[in-house]
C-alpha cells in the first residue's frame, strides 16, 4: 500500500511539473505577431507561408528554418536561404517562385485604402497582391509581390510599378524644335503638326515578357499621318520634369509597331503603337520611351474656343509572372493590362468673318467678292460665303469688270458684259479651298453680306476686295498679322495707317485670350452722274454765261471811264 502511495505521489509530481512547463514551452515556440498592410482599394492581399523557424533571443533572426505550409513540394531550405542575396521587388518575385499560388493562403486581407492587419506566427511570408475585380482596375494601377521576414510586428506598403505618360507639340510644318515643346499651339487648316509621344519605363522585375503600348487619340479635326503596319523609329532618354524635354541617349533606337489606326463614328482617330520587344529595356528603369508622330489639321477642325485635341495614354503589363503572348508586341485577349491617365495637348485655329454694309446707312450689301492672301502662312483655309455658278437657268450675268448683274444685256450695253449668253446662279458655298501650295482663297459675300475665312493660323495677311457692288467705291486692301501669345491666345496687329473704320476686331474669351477676328466693312457710293432729263450740265452753262456777261459789263465800263478821262 505504501508503495502504491509513493508511485501515485511521484506521478502527481510529474504531472504538476509538466503542467508548469507547458505554458513556458508554448510561449517559446508559438509567439504571434501583427503584420500591417497599407492597402489599396480593389486590391486583395493573399498571405502565403514560405518558411517557419525559431525566433532567436534577440528577436531579429529566424533559425532552424523549415519549409512552410504554402511552399511548393520541391522547395528546399537551401533555396529559401539563398533569398538573402536579393532585395526589393526582385526578392518578392524570387520568393513567389518558391510558393504554390494555388494553395490555400494562410491569410487574406481585402483592401479599401486603409491599413489592415493580420496575426501570424514567426516565419517567412509572401504577400501576393491581386486585383479584387479585374473590371474595376484604376488608371495606372498594377500589382506586386512582397516577401517579409516576420520576427516582430511589421508594416508593409506593397509597391506597384509606375508608368507616366507625356505628350508635347514640337512644331508645325518644317518649323520643328524638340527642345522647345509646348502643350498648346495654333495652326492653319492644312498645316502638319508634329507631336512627341513619351512614357516612362517601369521596373520590369518579375516579368519574363512585357507589353508597352502608346494609345494616341486625335480629335476629328486632326488626321494622323500613319497607317497600320508602319514601323516608326524613336528612342529612349532622360526627361526634364520641368520643361518636358527628353534628351535622347545616343545610339539607343526604339522601334514602334503601328497595330491600329481606327476612325471612330465621332470623328476621332485612334492610333495604337506597341514598343517592339519592350522586355529588352528592363535595365532602363526610370528612363523614357519616345516617338514622334504627325497629324494634319483638316477642314473638320474646331474653331474659336474649342481646341483640336490630341491625347495619349500608356497601356502596360501589370501582372508579374504572367506570360504575355499577344501578337505584334501587343496584348492578347486574355492578357491583364494597366492603363495610365491621359495627357492632352491642344491646337487652336481661328477665322475671319467679314460683314459688308453700305457706308451711309449700314444696310447689308451683296455682290462683293473678297480675296484673302497670306505671305508666310502655308494655307489660308476654308471659306463660307457665296459664289456664282454657270447655269442655263440662271438670272445673273457677269460684267466685264467682274461684277454681276441681273440686268439683261442689250445691243447698246453688250460691250459692258463679259458674255451676253452665259448665265449664272448665286449659291451658298461651304467648301475647302486650300491645297498643299495654295496661299489664297476668295468668295462672294452671302445674302446677308457675310463671308467667313476659317482655319487661319499665325502669319501675315492681305484682304482685297476683288469685286465691288455696282455703284460703290472699291475699298483699299487691308493688311494685318495674326500672332500667338505665350498665354495661349491669338493676337492681331494692323498695318500702320489703317483707317479706324477698316480695322479688324479680335474677340477674347473669358480669360482674355484672343479667339476670332471680324470686321464690318463699309462701302461708299461713288460720285453720281446726272440722270437723263435732269439738270445735267445746264447749271454749268448758266454759271459760265453769267461769268462771261459779267466780264463784258466790266470791260465796257472800263472803256467808258477811260474815254471820259
CA proximity to 509, closest of 298, 350, 345, 310: 350
d(CA 382, CA 444): 13
* Sole residue written with cell 512644331: 171
**pLDDT at residue 551 above 80?**
no
115-121, strands of its sheet edge to edge = 115-121, 32-38, 154-156
- The enclosing H or E element of 369 equals strand 369-374
pLDDT, one tens digit per residue, over 412-430 is 999 989 999 999 988 776 6
Interacting residues of 537 by C-beta distance below 8 A, sequence separation 6+: 530
Let me know: does 95 contact 87? Beta carbons within 8 Å.
no
The 3 state secondary structure assigned to 500-516 is HHHCCEEEECCCCCEEE
Let me know: does 52 contact 68? Beta carbons within 8 Å.
yes
Let me know: does 80 contact 100? Beta carbons within 8 Å.
no
Residue 67's SS3 state is strand
d(CA 65, CA 67): 7
Predicted local confidence at residue 384, as pLDDT: 66
Which of 9-23, 192-206, 309-323 is predicted with the least confidence, judged by mean pLDDT? 9-23
Question: Which has more confidence, 367 or 437?
Answer: 367
Cα atoms in the Cβ-side hemisphere of radius 13 Å centred on 171: 10
pLDDT, one tens digit per residue, over 444-461 is 888 888 988 888 888 899
d(CA 236, CA 252): 6
Question: Which has more confidence, 218 or 513?
Answer: 218
In this prediction, residues 167-181 reach a mean pLDDT of: 90
**pLDDT at residue 433 above 70?**
no
**pLDDT at residue 518 above 70?**
yes
Predicted local confidence at residue 24, as pLDDT: 44
- Residue 406 binned pLDDT confidence (cut-offs 50, 70, 90): confident
Predicted local confidence at residue 532, as pLDDT: 43
pLDDT, one tens digit per residue, over 260-287 is 999 999 999 999 999 999 999 999 999 9
d(CA 504, CA 492): 8
Angle at alpha carbon of residue 310, lines to 514 and 486, rounded to 5°: 30
- Residue 146 binned pLDDT confidence (cut-offs 50, 70, 90): confident
Interacting residues of 143 by C-beta distance below 8 A, sequence separation 6+: 43, 129, 130, 131, 158, 160, 318, 319, 320
**Residue 328 per-residue DSSP state:** G
**pLDDT at residue 214 above 90?**
yes
Let me know: does 271 contact 216? Beta carbons within 8 Å.
yes
Please count the residues of the chain: 565
pLDDT, one tens digit per residue, over 55-99 is 877 777 888 899 999 999 999 999 999 988 887 767 888 898 899
**Residue 495 per-residue DSSP state:** P
Amino acid at each position: 500500500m505504501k508503495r502504491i502511495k509513493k508511485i501515485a505521489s511521484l506521478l502527481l509530481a510529474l504531472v504538476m511539473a509538466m503542467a508548469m512547463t507547458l505554458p513556458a514551452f508554448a510561449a517559446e515556440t508559438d509567439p504571434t505577431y501583427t503584420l500591417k498592410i497599407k492597402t489599396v482599394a480593389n486590391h486583395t492581399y493573399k498571405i502565403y507561408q514560405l518558411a517557419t523557424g525559431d525566433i532567436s533571443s534577440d528577436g531579429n533572426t529566424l533559425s532552424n528554418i523549415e519549409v512552410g505550409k504554402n511552399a511548393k513540394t520541391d522547395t528546399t531550405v537551401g533555396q529559401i536561404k539563398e533569398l538573402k542575396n536579393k532585395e526589393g521587388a526582385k526578392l518578392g518575385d524570387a520568393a513567389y517562385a518558391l510558393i504554390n499560388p494555388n494553395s490555400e493562403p494562410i491569410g487574406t486581407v481585402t483592401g479599401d485604402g486603409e491599413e489592415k492587419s493580420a496575426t501570424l506566427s514567426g516565419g517567412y511570408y509572401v504577400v501576393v497582391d491581386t486585383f479584387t475585380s479585374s473590371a474595376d482596375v484604376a488608371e495606372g494601377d498594377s500589382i506586386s509581390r512582397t516577401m517579409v521576414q516576420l520576427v516582430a510586428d511589421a508594416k508593409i506598403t506593397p509597391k506597384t510599378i509606375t508608368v507616366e505618360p507625356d505628350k508635347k507639340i514640337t512644331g508645325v510644318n518644317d518649323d520643328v524644335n524638340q527642345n522647345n515643346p509646348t502643350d498648346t499651339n495654333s495652326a492653319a487648316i492644312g498645316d502638319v503638326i508634329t507631336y512627341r509621344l513619351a512614357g516612362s519605363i517601369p521596373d520590369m522585375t518579375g516579368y519574363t515578357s512585357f507589353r508597352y503600348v502608346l494609345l494616341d487619340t486625335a480629335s476629328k479635326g486632326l488626321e494622323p499621318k500613319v497607317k497600320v503596319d508602319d514601323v516608326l523609329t524613336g528612342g529612349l532618354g532622360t526627361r526634364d520634369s520641368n520643361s518636358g524635354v527628353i534628351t535622347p541617349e545616343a545610339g539607343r533606337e526604339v522601334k514602334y509597331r503601328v497595330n491600329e489606326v481606327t476612325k471612330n463614328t465621332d470623328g476621332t482617330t485612334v492610333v495604337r503603337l506597341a514598343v517592339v520587344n519592350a522586355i529588352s529595356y528592363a535595365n532602363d528603369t526610370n528612363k523614357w520611351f519616345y516617338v514622334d508622330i504627325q497629324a494634319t489639321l483638316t477642314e473638320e477642325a474646331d474653331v474659336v474656343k474649342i481646341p483640336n485635341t490630341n491625347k495619349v495614354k500608356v497601356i502596360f503589363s501589370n501582372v508579374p509572372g504572367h506570360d504575355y503572348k499577344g501578337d505584334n508586341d501587343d496584348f492578347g485577349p486574355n492578357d491583364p493590362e494597366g492603363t495610365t491617365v491621359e495627357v492632352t495637348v491642344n491646337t487652336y485655329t481661328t477665322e475671319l468673318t467679314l460683314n459688308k454694309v453700305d457706308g451711309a446707312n449700314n444696310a447689308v450689301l451683296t455682290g462683293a467678292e473678297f480675296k484673302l492672301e497670306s505671305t508666310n502662312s502655308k494655307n489660308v483655309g476654308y471659306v463660307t460665303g457665296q459664289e456664282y455658278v454657270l447655269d442655263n437657268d440662271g438670272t445673273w450675268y457677269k460684267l466685264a469688270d467682274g461684277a454681276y448683274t441681273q440686268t439683261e444685256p442689250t445691243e447698246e450695253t453688250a460691250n459692258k458684259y463679259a458674255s451676253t449668253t452665259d448665265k449664272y446662279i448665286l449659291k451658298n458655298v461651304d467648301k475647302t479651298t486650300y491645297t498643299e501650295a495654295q496661299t489664297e482663297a476668295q468668295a462672294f459675300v452671302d445674302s446677308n453680306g457675310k463671308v467667313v475665312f476659317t482655319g487661319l493660323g499665325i502669319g501675315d495677311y492681305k484682304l482685297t476686295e476683288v469685286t465691288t457692288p455696282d455703284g460703290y467705291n472699291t475699298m483699299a486692301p487691308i493688311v494685318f498679322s495674326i500672332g500667338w501669345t505665350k498665354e495661349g491666345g491669338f493676337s492681331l496687329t494692323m498695318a500702320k495707317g489703317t483707317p479706324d473704320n477698316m480695322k479688324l476686331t479680335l474677340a477674347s474669351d473669358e480669360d482674355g485670350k484672343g479667339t476670332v477676328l471680324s470686321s464690318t466693312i463699309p462701302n461708299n457710293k461713288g460720285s453720281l452722274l446726272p440722270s437723263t432729263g435732269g439738270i445735267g450740265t445746264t447749271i454749268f452753262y448758266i454759271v459760265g454765261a453769267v461769268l462771261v456777261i459779267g466780264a463784258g459789263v466790266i470791260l465796257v465800263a472800263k472803256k467808258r471811264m477811260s474815254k471820259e478821262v
